[in-house]
Structure formats: C-alpha cells, structure tokens
Amino acid sequence: MDTQILRRTRCKRLDAAEKRKEIARSEGPPSDTGLLSANLRIRCSVSGPPGGGPAARIGEYVLLEPVDGGCTLRAVDTRSGEEVVCKVWPLHQCASAFEAYARVGLHPQLSSPQDILLGARHTYLFFPRHYGTAHGVLRSYGPVSEACTVTLFRQMVEAVAHCHACGLVLRDLKLRKFVYSSPEGTKLLLGSLEDAYVLQGTDDSLSSRHACPAYISPELLSSVSGHPGFAHYSGRCADMWSLGVMLYALLTGRYPFQHPTPATLFNKIRSGRYALPDWLSHNARCLLRCLLCREPRERLTAHEVLGHPWLTAADGPEPVSQDINSPDMAINQGDQLVPDMEDEHPMDMISCY
C-alpha cells in the first residue's frame, strides 16, 4: 500500500480468542489488538438500544446506529471519544479497496480512511466524521444559490478529476457519495471509493452496469438491450453523465430524469430530453448540455469541466431572477422532485428487463 496511506491506516487481523476476553471485560480499557470473534456475524442494522445496553464493539470502536440507509454506521473511538464514520464492506472487497486508496493517495477532496480493521467476514473502514451527504442536505433544505453551487460542484469535479487521473472509474456516482466535512456546509468530499474500479491501463472500457437508476447514462441502457453482458462503454464518460445529473439536482432541487416506473425512467434517459430552467445562467445551462449529452465522447472530461467558464469566471455566475414556480419548472414537477432516498444498492441493469 502507498506509504502515505500506511501512515494513516492500520490494518489489523482480528483474533477470536482475544475477542472473548474483550467481551468478558466490557468495562475494562479498550484493547489495542482490534478484536472480533471469527463466528460473529455483523449486520448493517447493528446498533445500541435507545434505552441503554451494549452496542457492538469492534476493536477500539463502539458501533452505533446506521446512517444513510446502508452499511455505514456512526461510531465512537474509545481512545479519544471522537465520533467517526464506519463503513462495513465484505472482506473480499478489501484488496480492491486498498488498491484504490493506494492509487489516489491523499487529496483534499477525498475522505481517506483513518483506520482499517479486518474481521473474519468483514472489513471495517473508519473515516472522520461528516455532517451529512449532499443528497440529504439537498432534500432537507432545497437548492442553494448558483454561486454557492459553483463552489460545491467544483469540489466534486476536483475529486472526480483526481480519481480519473489516477486510473479509477468511480461508478455508481451520486449525491449520496459526497459528504460535508464541516457543519458550515461549505466543503464537500468524496466519501469513499467502495464502488470504484481500478483500471490496469489507459483503456477505461467497462461492461458491468453498476449505477443508481436516476444517474445511469444512456449508453449503459442501450448496450443492455443489444448484447447483455458483452457491450462495453467508457467508464469515465459514464461518470461525467452522473456528474451532470448531480449538477442539475444541485441547481434545481430535482432530477433531470425521474419516474417511479423503471421502464419509463430508462426511456426518458435514452431520449436525452430534459427541461433547462430559463432562470439558470447561460454558462450553467451550457455546462449541463456538455455533461448531459447522449453521445459519450462528446461530453467534457473532468479536467475540461474545471476549465469551463461557469467554474472559472472571476465574478461568478451572472445574476438572474429565480422563479421556481415558472411554467418551465412546473413541467412534470411531480416526478422531477429529488426523492427521499436514492437507491443505496446499485442495480445490475440487465436484470431490470
């Protein structure tokens, strides 16, 4: 593993006999050995009862309730008393996870694990505490000003550009993957690399369809209908489409393509037709068209997006009148709103047909 990561990450094999000792002395000091019984099955729903009682103990950490509807939990480091975030991955994913983090090293727009514990069946990655996901904050408070969106979206693109330059395709890229690193809500980080694919060369052709339905690109759907399992697509270009969906949602508070029925949703995505509000600035609409483009190779790369006038203009986006009740925004309003939850489990798009 990269030496920068090794300085911040400790990988420990958890010993069953020591775990039994840990349980027996539940009031004793935390152990240094990172302990877990070989036959203990940890589930994503593990939590401490509201009325008290023991929470799950993993090494020096106490696992609390799950967050974001998936295998992510609040946790407390018993050595410092600080709250952290624990992501639980199947053990077989740990090698690819280590390779992904070794590739990217440390970057200001990436949240890197500060501790890793290896169990008999699971890998536990501990990250610094965050203050909500981009999806959760958008759902709760709605879109912010275009000027604020410029700052947040630039941070997103910087994270994606760095990963692409290091040979990673992120896949399943969505708002929920980005987390706020401060309560002020001014800095976004890419929360983890759990779905990233490590490229072994310059070719980014992929065949697996790993994406949340609202963010999936047209070429993934088109390739499914032709030759299931064999058609390839550009992983980086698919990531850029997902960035376009995220930008649209940040600016408007709704997805460009949304419908409760998968077949109808996918038809909308294949068509590539969506409404651009008149109250968005010219440069914002231009960038959206450059990302939500049906032809993959015509989309801007992450590096090119960072040079787009919408992100580089010294005086920021030109002021416009934002009328959220305009007729343009009233089109299909019922099925355009960002839903309460994104699909936490990526879909194999072949199985949808």
Per DSSP, helices labelled H in the chain are 3-8, 16-24, 94-104, 134-141, 146-165, 218-226, 235-252, 262-271, 282-291, 302-306, 309-312, 327-330, 333-336
Same domain, 346 and 307: yes
Catalytic positions are 172
Same domain, 138 and 124: no
Same domain, 115 and 138: no
pLDDT in single tens digits along all 353 residues of the chain:
443 333 344 444 444 334 333 322 333 333 333 333 233 233 333 333 333 344 688 889 999 988 765 688 899 999 999 999 999 888 887 788 889 999 999 999 999 999 989 888 888 999 999 999 999 999 999 998 999 999 999 999 999 999 999 999 999 999 999 999 988 888 999 998 988 999 999 999 998 877 889 999 999 987 554 444 457 899 999 999 999 999 999 999 999 998 999 999 999 999 999 999 999 999 999 999 999 999 999 999 999 999 999 999 855 555 444 343 344 433 343 333 455 435 444 343 323 32
d(CA 153, CA 174): 12
Residues of the domain holding 186: 134-352
Same domain, 24 and 55: yes
Residues in the chain: 353
Look up the CATH number of the domain holding residue 190. Answer: 1.10.510.10
Cβ-based neighbours of 93, under 8 Å, separated by 6 or more:
123, 194
Same domain, 100 and 165: no
* Residue finishing a domain among 108, 128, 148: 128
What are the backbone dihedrals phi and psi of residue 139, each rounded to the nearest 5 degrees, phi first?
Answer: -65, -40
Same domain, 93 and 174: no
Q: Which residues of 89-120 are buried (b: 16+ CB within 10 A; e: fewer)?
A: beeeebebbbbbbbbbeebebbbbbebbbbbb
Same domain, 10 and 83: yes
pLDDT recorded at residue 68:
65
* Residue finishing a domain among 68, 94, 128: 128
Same domain, 98 and 234: no
Sign of the alpha-carbon dihedral angle for 183, 186, 187, 188 = positive
* Residue finishing a domain among 128, 152, 167: 128
Same domain, 144 and 13: no
> Count of domains in the chain?
2
Same domain, 201 and 281: yes
C-alpha dist (Å) from residue 258 to 57, 79, 110, 120, 267: 41, 45, 29, 40, 10
Q: Which residues pair with 74 in a beta bridge?
A: 85
As given in the structure block, the two tokens for residue 249 are 């949602």
d(CA 253, CA 257): 12
Look up the CATH number of the domain holding residue 87. Answer: 3.30.200.20
Same domain, 316 and 299: yes
Same domain, 160 and 57: no
